[in-house]
Amino acid sequence: MINLNWQNVIDSNGITITLIGMLIVFSGLLLISTFIIILPHALAVFDRVVAGRQPQPVSAKVTSNDPTEQEIMAAISLVVHMELERCGGDFQRITMKRRAPTGTFWNSTGTTRSLSNRSPHA
Amino acid sequence: MINLNWQNVIDSNGITITLIGMLIVFSGLLLISTFIIILPHALAVFDRVVAGRQPQPVSAKVTSNDPTEQEIMAAISLVVHMELERCGGDFQRITMKRRAPTGTFWNSTGTTRSLSNRSPHA
Amino acid sequence: MINLNWQNVIDSNGITITLIGMLIVFSGLLLISTFIIILPHALAVFDRVVAGRQPQPVSAKVTSNDPTEQEIMAAISLVVHMELERCGGDFQRITMKRRAPTGTFWNSTGTTRSLSNRSPHA
Amino acid sequence: METLHQFIAGTGFMALTWGNAIMIVIGIVFITLAIVKDYEPLLLVPIGFGILVGNIPPVAGMAISVYDEGSVLSYIYFGVSEGIFPPLIFLGIGAMTDFSAMLSNPKLVLLGAAAQVGIFLTLIGALALGFDPQEAGAIGIIGGADGPTAIFLSAKLAPHLLGSIAIAAYSYMALVPVIQPPIMKLLTTRKERLIRMTAPRTVTKRERIIFPIGAFLICGMIAPGSMVLIGMLLFGNILKESLVTDRLANTARNAMIDIVTILLGISVGASTSADHFLTPQSILIFALGAISFCIATAGGILFAKFMNLFLKDKINPLVGAAGVSAVPDAARVVHTVGQKEDPTNFLLMHAMAPNVAGVIGSAIGAGILWTVLVK
Amino acid sequence: METLHQFIAGTGFMALTWGNAIMIVIGIVFITLAIVKDYEPLLLVPIGFGILVGNIPPVAGMAISVYDEGSVLSYIYFGVSEGIFPPLIFLGIGAMTDFSAMLSNPKLVLLGAAAQVGIFLTLIGALALGFDPQEAGAIGIIGGADGPTAIFLSAKLAPHLLGSIAIAAYSYMALVPVIQPPIMKLLTTRKERLIRMTAPRTVTKRERIIFPIGAFLICGMIAPGSMVLIGMLLFGNILKESLVTDRLANTARNAMIDIVTILLGISVGASTSADHFLTPQSILIFALGAISFCIATAGGILFAKFMNLFLKDKINPLVGAAGVSAVPDAARVVHTVGQKEDPTNFLLMHAMAPNVAGVIGSAIGAGILWTVLVK
Amino acid sequence: METLHQFIAGTGFMALTWGNAIMIVIGIVFITLAIVKDYEPLLLVPIGFGILVGNIPPVAGMAISVYDEGSVLSYIYFGVSEGIFPPLIFLGIGAMTDFSAMLSNPKLVLLGAAAQVGIFLTLIGALALGFDPQEAGAIGIIGGADGPTAIFLSAKLAPHLLGSIAIAAYSYMALVPVIQPPIMKLLTTRKERLIRMTAPRTVTKRERIIFPIGAFLICGMIAPGSMVLIGMLLFGNILKESLVTDRLANTARNAMIDIVTILLGISVGASTSADHFLTPQSILIFALGAISFCIATAGGILFAKFMNLFLKDKINPLVGAAGVSAVPDAARVVHTVGQKEDPTNFLLMHAMAPNVAGVIGSAIGAGILWTVLVK
Ligand code: NA
Ligand code: NA
Ligand code: NA
C-alpha cells in the first residue's frame, strides 16, 4: 500500500513552504489587483494636472459626449478585425493611431520600393 | 587513368551492403504498400463493427448516394483553396470540421480580445 | 575635468587608422559607384553582342517604342502592389515572369494536393 | 554475414519491449483524442507523435534519441531541458492575451491566487509520498494547470521527471472539461450558480498599455524567480497593446509560438521512452496531478464563496473554478456550466479575469518554488 | 605604416587564388541558372551566393568562414554539420506533401524502392574508386536525388565531403529535366510510353490521417536510422492532414522551412571555399553523382517493365523514372515526356506516387547506410 | 523560519539599488517615447522592457540574468554577444531595401562615404579620452548610425561596452529628427537648400539583380571584415530582386527579422543592469555618440558642398546629411527640411541614395576597424 511519510513533509519544510508560498501568491495578486484599481484614478489625476497646464481640449470632450458614435466605431472595427482574423489571423490590427505602413523603420525601407515604383523608373 | 579497385569493394562488404540495403528498402516500401492496401478494408471492418453497436446512420448513406453534390463541393473548395493559395499561400485551409478561430488554445486567447471588444469597454 | 590624452591617440595609431579607414571607405564606395555607372553600358554591350548572334528581336523594340503602355503597366502594378501591402505586407510580389505557384519545389509539392483534389477522390 | 547480423540487430523488431509497445499505444491514443475529441490538438498531436518517435527501440551506437549527445533530437530537446521554450511560448501567449477582463474586474484577480493552493497541497502530498523536495515542487506545479510553467520549473528542479510532469500537465489540461464540472456542481448550490454578475467597467487603451509594466515590476520584485516567465508574458502583451509594435506582436503570436510549440511538443513526446517514463513514479505523478487539479478547482470555488461573505455585489462561485489557469478552457467550462442553469447568463467575460490571473498566479508560485528549492 | 601594411595584407586582392576565382564564377553561374533557367531557385540562389561568401579570401586571425570557431557563419553551419536542418526541412515538406497519389496507387510504391538501386550501385562504384566505406556511403546517397537526405547522411558519415555532396545533389536535382528524358526514351518503346493508366481510387480523409502513423512505425522498426528524417516528414504530414493543427502545419511549411532553407543554403555554399572544394575527390563525386542519377532513373523504369510482366493493368514504364525522388520535378518530367507521345495522357498524378515513395525510399536507404557504416 | 528568511532574502525589495531604480525609470522613458513619440518603437519597446527585466535585483544562486551561465536570457543573449543577430537583421533589411535610388544616382553614393568620418573622428576622441583601441573602435561605430553594425562590432571588439554602445546608437538613431535639422540649417544657405535635383535615370530589373553580386565582391575584397554584414545585406537583396525566391525574401523580411528583433531587443535591454551600465564610461560613450552623430551629419553636408565645386548638376547639400545611415529617418529629415523651404521640392528619392550607401559605408568602416583592431 501507499505509505504516507509525514516526517518527510516536516523535514522538507513542506508546511512552511506552503504557507509562505500561498502568502506570496496572494500578496502578488493583491498588489496587482490594487494597482489595477488605482490605475484609472491615477490616470485621471494625471490628466487633470496636464489639462490644468494646457488650454481646454474641447474636441476631446465632444467625442466623449457621444458614446454611440464610439460604439458604432467599435462595432465596425470588431467586424473588420474578425474578418481579417478569419483570413488567417496574420493581418495587422487596425489601430486607432494608424501609421502608414511607412511609419516604422522596417516597413519604410520596404516601401521606398513603392516610392521608386511611382517614379517612371520601374 | 582511373583505377578501379574491386578488392576495396569486397573488403568493405560493398556487395553485402548493396544486397541487404536493397532488400530492406524493398521490404520497407512493400510493407507500406501492404499497409495502404489493407487500410481501407480495415477501416470498413471497423465501421461495420461500430455501426453494429449503434443505430443505422441513415444520413451518412444519403450523402454517399449523391456523389454529384460531393463533387460540386470538391470543385468549390478547390477553387476557394486555389484562390487562397494565390494570395500568398499563407492562409489556413478550409477544413470540413471547421472550428471557429476560437477553437484552439492559442487562437482562443487571441479571440478573447474580440469578445471584450464586443462589450462596450473598448 | 576631462583630460584629453593625445599621446594615447598617437600610440594607438589613431591618426593612421582614421586616414586609412576613410581612404578605404571612399575607395569601396567609389568602386561601387563606378560599377553602377558602368553596369548599364556593359549590359547594353552584352545585349548588342547577343542580338548580333540572334535574329532581330522585333517585339522588344516595339515595346520600348511605347513607353506610355509601360508606364500604365507600372501604375497598375504599383496600385496592386500597394493594395497587397496594405493587407499586411505578407503577400508575394506580382512578378513579371509570374510562375504558377507550382513553379518551385516547395510550392509544387503543396499544390499536388490541389491536383489530387481536382480528381474526385477528396 | 557480419553486416547482415549488424543490420538485423539494428532493426527495431528485435528490441521492441512491452514498455515501448504500451507507450506507442499511448501516443496513438493522444493523437486520436486530439483529432476526434479536439482536446488541445496543438499540443497533443505533437506530443503524441513524439511518443512514437521516442519509443522506436534505439540502436546501440547511433545518436538518435533526445538523451543521446549530438543527436538532432537532443539539440531540439535542449530548448526544453534548459527551459528556453516555455518563456518564448509565454511571449507569444502574452501577444495574444487580452487582460481587459482582468483590468475591469480587479477583485476577481484574487480567485486566480486561491486556485494556486493546488500547487502547494500537491507539494505536501508529494513529500508525504517520499519524493525529495525538488521533485515535490516540480510535481506540485502540475496543479498550476499551465503547461509551459510546469515544463520550466521541472527543467530547473527535477529534469528527470520532466517528461512525466509535462505529459500529466497537458493531459489534465486537455481533460479540464471532464474534471471540473462535477466538482463545480458538488461545491455550489443551484442558487449560487444562478448569480448574475454586473457588467464590468470600461478599460481604456492607456490602462492596457501601462498594466504590463506595473504588473511586471510587482511580480519581479515579489518573486524574482517568476521574472523570466512573467516578464516574457507581459513583454508580449506590451508588444500587442502598445499598437506601435504590431508587426512584432504578430510574429510572436504566429510564426514564433508555432515553431516553438512544434519543437517543444515533438521533443517532450520523444523524451518519454518507456524506460524513462513507465516507472512507479510516473503513476504517482499522474495520481497527484489529478488530485491537484481537483484541489485547485475547489480552492477557487470555495474562495469565491468566502469572498461573497463580505461582498455586496456577489460573485458567481463558478467563476472561481476558472482560477486554475488552463486558459481559456477553464473559463469556457465555467460559461457552459453556468448556461446549463440559466442560458441567458453569460459568465465567459467574468471567468476570463481569474483565468488570466491564474496564469500569473501559477508563474509566481513556480518562481517561489524555484527560489526556495533550487540547489 | 605598420597599420597600413596590416590593412593591405587584410584585403582580398592579394590573397585571391585561382581556385577562389573559379569558385566565384561557379557561384555566379548557379545564381544565373536559377534566375534565368528557373532551376531550383530556392536552393541555387542561396547556395550560389554562399559560394561567393565562402571564396572571398580569408584574413588571418579573423573568425569569418564556416570553419573558423566562433564565427557567425560557423554558428549557422552548425545546423548543417550536425544534421539539424535536414529534418526540419523534412518537417516542412511533410506539411506540404499530399500522399493521396501514393495511397490510391499502392503498387506504384515499389517503383520508389527500385530507383534506390542508384544509391547502392554508386556506393560500390565509390568503393572501387578507393573511397573509404563512410565516404562511399555518403557519395552513394547522391543517387537518392534528395538534398536534405544527402546533407544529413554526409554530416553523419563524411562531414569533410559535405559541401561537394550537397552541391552535386542539388545540381543534378536541378538538372533532372535535362538528365532523365534521354534515358527514358532509350529504355522504353513508343507503345509503352502510350500506355494509359486507370484512374486511381478514392482516398478518404481518415486514410490520409492514419497513413503517417502506420508508415512511420513501419519505417522506424525496419530502419531506425531513418527515424529522424522520416519521423519529421510524417510528423509534418499529420500536422497537415489532422486538420486540427492547421496553424502549426502552416508555419512549418512557410516561415519555418523558409528560414531553414535560407540558413542551410547560404552556409552550405559558404563551406565550399576553393581549398576545401576544388579537389580531385570533388570531380569524382560529381562524376559518380551523374552516374547514380542515370542508374536510379533506369532502375525505376526497368522495374516498371518487370512488374508489367505480372500485371493485368499495365504500368506506363515512364512512371518508374519518377521513383528517384526529386519531388516534384521528376514527376513533371514524366508527365511532359508522356504528353509528347500522346497529349491526352495525363501521367502526373500517377507519377506522384513513386515520386513521394522515392523520398521515403531514399530516407530508408540513408538510414541503412548510417546504421551499417557509422563508426 | 529559515525558509521564510531564504524567501525574504529572495525578494527584490531588499536588494533594489538606486542604480536599478534609475535604470527602471530609463526603461519606462524608452517605452513611453516609443509609444507616445513613435521614436523607433520596434527597437525602443523591446529594449525598454528589457531594461526593466535586467534591473529587477538578482537573487543569489539563481541563473536569471543575461550574465548568469545557463539562464534563459543568457541563451538569448548569446545571439548578441557572438554577433549572430546583426547579420540576420541585415538579411531581412536587405530583403526589404530597394537600391534603385542608389543605382540611379551613383555620384550620391560618395556622400554615404563622407558621413563615415563621424566613425573615425569619434575613434580619435575616444582614444584621447583614454579608452583602449578596441573600446575606441567600438565607440566610434556609434557614428555609423546603424544599430546592427554597432552591436556586431562591439561584440567583436569590446563586449563589456556592448550594452552602452547599443543603447547609445539606438537612442541617437531615434533622435535623428531632433539632432540633424539644426546642423543642416547651420551649414547650408537658403539658396543651397532650394536646389532642385534632376530626376534620376531609369533602373532596369537586370541592374537591380546584378548589383548585389558586384557590390558584394567589391566590398568583400576591399574590406573582408565587412563580409558578414554586407554579405547578408546583399544576399537578402538578391533574394528580393531575383523575383524567383520571393517566398524566402518574404520570410526574411517578416517572420525572421521580427523574431531576431524581439530577441535582440529584449536581451540587449536586459544586459543593462545598473552595475554594468551606470558607469562613468557610459556617460562618456553617450557624449561621444552625440558628437559622432553631429560630425557625421556635417561630414555628409560639407562633402556635398565640396562636390558642388566640380559638378554642373548641383547637389542639394541637405542630401548629404542622409549619408549617416539611420535608414530611412535621415532621408525623411532631409525631405522635411527641404520642404520647409520649398514645398514643391521632393528630396526623398534623392536622399535615399546616400542613405543606403551610408549603410554599406558604415559596414565597411566596421570591417576595417575589426580587421585592424582585432586581437
Ligand atoms: Na494556475
Ligand atoms: Na530517392
Ligand atoms: Na553610416
Confidence of residue D13 (pLDDT cuts 50, 70, 90): low
Q: How far is the CA of F116 from the centre of ligand 3 (A)?
A: 6
- Assess F6–E contact: CB distance below 8 Å, yes or no: no
| Contact (Cβ atoms closer than 8 angstroms) between residue D248 and residue D239 | yes
Enumerate the residues of chain C whose CB falls inside 8 A of the CB of residue F207: 36, 39-40, 43
pLDDT for the residue C97: 28
pLDDT for the residue A65: 40
pLDDT at E263 over 60: yes
pLDDT at E84 over 50: yes
Q: Which of D40, D100, D86, D42 is nearest to D230 (CA)?
A: D86
Q: Is D13 close to E221, i.e. CB distance below 8 A?
A: yes
Rounded Cα gap, residues D42 and E252, in angstroms: 13
Min CA distance, D127 vs chain B (Å)? 32
pLDDT for the residue F4: 62
Q: Is B101 close to A87, i.e. CB distance below 8 A?
A: no
Among C53-62, D94-103, F33-42, name the one with the lowest average pLDDT. C53-62
Q: Is F245 close to E75, i.e. CB distance below 8 A?
A: no
Q: Which residue has the higher pLDDT, C78 or D63?
A: D63
pLDDT for the residue C57: 44
pLDDT for the residue A61: 39
Q: Is B95 close to E110, i.e. CB distance below 8 A?
A: no
Min CA distance, E152 vs chain F (Å)? 22
* For range E238-242, the mean pLDDT: 96
Min CA distance, E176 vs chain B (Å)? 23
The residues, any chain, with a CB within 8 Å of residue D187's CB and separated by 6 or more, are D298, D301, D302, D305, D317
What is the DSSP annotation of E28-42?
Answer: HHHHHIIIII-SSHH
| Contact (Cβ atoms closer than 8 angstroms) between residue E195 and residue E336 | no
pLDDT at B91 over 70: no
pLDDT at D14 over 90: no
Ligand found nearest the CA of E147: 2
Ligand found nearest the CA of D172: 1
pLDDT for the residue E202: 83
pLDDT for the residue C53: 72
pLDDT at F78 over 60: yes
The DSSP code for F40 is: S
Note residues around ion ligand 3 (Cβ under 5 angstroms).
Answer: F 144-145, 325, 358, 362
Q: What percent of chain D has pLDDT over 90?
A: 87
| Contact (Cβ atoms closer than 8 angstroms) between residue F339 and residue F371 | no
What is the pTM for the complete model shown?
Answer: 0.88
- Assess C6–F contact: CB distance below 8 Å, yes or no: yes
pLDDT at D267 over 90: yes
Give the Å distances, CA to CA, from D289 to D26, D121, E106, E225.
18, 11, 45, 36
The DSSP code for D311 is: -
pLDDT for the residue B100: 33
For testing contact with chain E, the best of B29, B31, B34, B99 (most E CBs within 10 A):
B29
| Contact (Cβ atoms closer than 8 angstroms) between residue D12 and residue D56 | yes
Rounded Cα gap, residues D238 and D244, in angstroms: 10
The DSSP code for F197 is: P
pLDDT at E302 over 60: yes
For testing contact with chain B, the best of A69, A78, A81, A91 (most B CBs within 10 A):
A78
Q: Is C114 close to B85, i.e. CB distance below 8 A?
A: yes
The DSSP code for B92 is: P
pLDDT tens sequence across D75-92:
999 999 999 999 999 999
Nearest to B90 among A74, A78, A88 (CB): A88
Q: Which amino acid is at D76?
A: I
Nearest to F52 among D83, D213, D256 (CB): D213
Averaged confidence pLDDT in chain A: 60
* For range E38-51, the mean pLDDT: 94
Q: How far is the CA of F73 from the centre of ligand 1 (A)?
A: 24
Q: What angle do CA D244, D248, D249 make, to 5 degrees?
A: 85
Q: Is C112 close to E92, i.e. CB distance below 8 A?
A: no
Enumerate the residues of chain E whose CB falls inside 8 A of the CB of residue C113: 96, 98, 100
Chain E positions with Cβ closer than 8 Å to C: 1-4, 7, 38, 40-43, 92-93, 96-98, 100-101, 104, 199-203, 253, 257, 261, 327-329, 332, 348-349, 352
Enumerate the residues of chain A whose CB falls inside 8 A of the CB of residue C67: 120
pLDDT tens sequence across B26-80:
999 999 999 999 999 999 999 999 887 765 444 443 344 444 545 544 444 444 3
Q: Which of E107, B33, B73, B91 is nearest to C122 (CA)?
A: B73
Rounded Cα gap, residues A12 and D12, in angstroms: 44
Q: Which amino acid is at D183?
A: I
Domain residue spans of chain C:
7-48, 78-98+111-122
pLDDT for the residue A96: 28
pLDDT at A69 over 70: no
Q: What angle do CA B44, B45, B51 make, to 5 degrees?
A: 85
Residues of chain C short of pLDDT 70, as ranges, are 1-2, 54-122
| Contact (Cβ atoms closer than 8 angstroms) between residue E252 and residue E236 | yes
| Range list of H helices, chain A | 6-11, 14-53, 58-65, 67-86, 105-118
Confidence of residue F142 (pLDDT cuts 50, 70, 90): very high
Radius of gyration of chain A (CA): 27
Q: What's the sign of the alpha-carbon dihedral E131, E137, E139, E140?
A: positive
**Which residue matches cell numbers 534521354?**
E182
Enumerate the residues of chain C whose CB falls inside 8 A of the CB of residue F107: 33
Q: Is F3 close to A120, i.e. CB distance below 8 A?
A: no
Half-sphere exposure of F288 (CA within 13 A, CB side): 34
CA D121 vs. chain centroid, Å, equals 17
Chains in contact with chain C (at least 3 beta-carbon pairs closer than 8 A): A, B, E, F
* For range D9-27, the mean pLDDT: 83
Nearest to E361 among B25, B31, B89 (CB): B25
Whats the size of chain A, residue-wise? Answer: 122
Q: Which amino acid is at B120?
A: P
pLDDT at A120 over 70: no
pLDDT for the residue A39: 95
pLDDT at A35 over 50: yes
Ligand found nearest the CA of D323: 1
Averaged confidence pLDDT in chain E: 93
Rounded Cα gap, residues E115 and E323, in angstroms: 5
Q: Which residue of C has its CA nearest to E351?
A: C112
- Assess A24–D contact: CB distance below 8 Å, yes or no: yes
Q: Is C105 close to E352, i.e. CB distance below 8 A?
A: no
Q: Which residue has the higher pLDDT, F201 or E167?
A: E167
**Which residue matches cell numbers 521554450?**
D85
Rounded Cα gap, residues E82 and E143, in angstroms: 22
Rounded Cα gap, residues F176 and F92, in angstroms: 22
Q: What angle do CA D255, D261, D265 make, to 5 degrees?
A: 155
CA C105 vs. chain centroid, Å, equals 22
pLDDT for the residue E11: 64
Q: What is the ipTM of this complex?
A: 0.86
pLDDT for the residue B2: 65
**Which residue matches cell numbers 506533401?**
E97
pLDDT for the residue E12: 63
* For range E10-36, the mean pLDDT: 88
Enumerate the residues of chain E whose CB falls inside 8 A of the CB of residue D49: 213, 216, 231, 234-235, 238
Name residues 236-255 of chain D within 8 A of F (Cβ): 238-239, 242-245, 247-248, 250-252, 254-255
Backbone angles phi, psi at C55, to 5 degrees: -60, 155
The residues, any chain, with a CB within 8 Å of residue F120's CB and separated by 6 or more, are C17, C18, C21, C22, F140, F143, F365
Q: Which residue of C has its CA nearest to A84?
A: C87
**E182 CB-contact burial (10 Å; exposed 0-12 / middle 13-18 / buried 19+):** exposed
pLDDT tens sequence across D333-342:
999 999 999 9
